[in-house]
Amino acid sequence: MRSRGNRAAFSLILFVLPAFLLYLLFLVIPMFQGSYYSFTDWNGLNKTYDFVGFGNFVEALRDDRNFRSSIWFTAKFVVCAVVLQNVVALLLALLIESRKKAKGLFRTIFFMPNMLSVIISTFMWVFVFSKVIPALAENGALKFLNLSWLGDPSVSFWTILIVSVWGGVGTLLLIYMAAIQGIPQHLKEAAIIDGAQPHHMFRYITLPLIAHALTICIFLTLNSSFKVYDLVYALTNGGPGRGTQVITMNILEEAYQGNNRYGYASSKAIILFLIILVITMIQVTIMKKREVEA
């Protein structure tokens, strides 16, 4: 029996080992290397570099105006994207679950954007905002659409947000629908018999019993919104100027696009990592407590 158990354990290790080695090689080791380089002035090319301590971090937070503006823009985007994606996904889930037919069809329709490459789907949106909407704006009744959707930073922010909601709702929708389907039917029936109105049903039954789904969805949207890159790159490339530059774009610009300050870029990446770590830990801790209370 023991030898059979040992063979089973050995087989499991063999199955896990390739994935673990890839994870170690491409994620764990580069993370520790980047942490080390963040305290140096390495340019990413030379074999020699100097140790600068916390100088990179001080420069990034105190002297780098572009980095601070990218943090501010990313923070605005994260707040709006997390709220809108989760609100829209939850409302759609409630509407679809209230239907008796065609639930599978609606799930498929709203999940379809997730099946497309972000770059490809975003280039489609570039065509819509640069060609289709201006053509519609020529109609007198649609003059309000005559905006610089990709050229004005204040408008481009909402353009990026619209595309992020369109592409991010599908996965959240499935999670919320699964959570809603898991609510015991007898609780709903008892509430209806007691005369509960739809908003009472949502507040006192649905929302507390899908708290675990809320925790997961907010966690996912927080992480993806902080690390957004390809969507902004394809829509505006951080422009005009640096008006829509997110943190990830600022980091890559510092490391590769002419500056070649790999150590300095690594320190910015560490700052981003710490921001995400602290915020997600606070979010998960608070929402887990509410799950227990519910």
Which pLDDT does position 97 carry in this prediction?
86
Domain boundaries, the chain: 65-293
Q: What residues contact 47, with CB distance under 8 A and at least 6 apart?
A: none
Which pLDDT does position 258 carry in this prediction?
67
Task: Determine if the pTM surpasses 0.75.
Answer: yes
Taking 70 as the pLDDT cut, the residues of the chain under it are 1-5, 140-141, 258, 291-294
Amino acid (1-letter code) at residue 167: G
**pLDDT 10s digits, 75-118:** 999 999 999 999 999 999 999 988 878 888 888 888 888 888 88
**Residues 246/229, Cβ–Cβ less than 8 Å:** yes
Which pLDDT does position 67 carry in this prediction?
94
In Å, what is the CA distance from 10 to each residue of 25, 93, 253? 22, 44, 45
Which pLDDT does position 12 carry in this prediction?
84
Q: Which residues of 164-188 are buried (b: 16+ CB within 10 A; e: fewer)?
A: bbbbbbbbbbbbbbebbeebeeeee
Q: Alpha-carbon distance 89 to 91, whole Å?
A: 6
Looking at domain 65-293, its CATH superfamily turns out to be MetI-like (1.10.3720.10)
Which pLDDT does position 2 carry in this prediction?
59
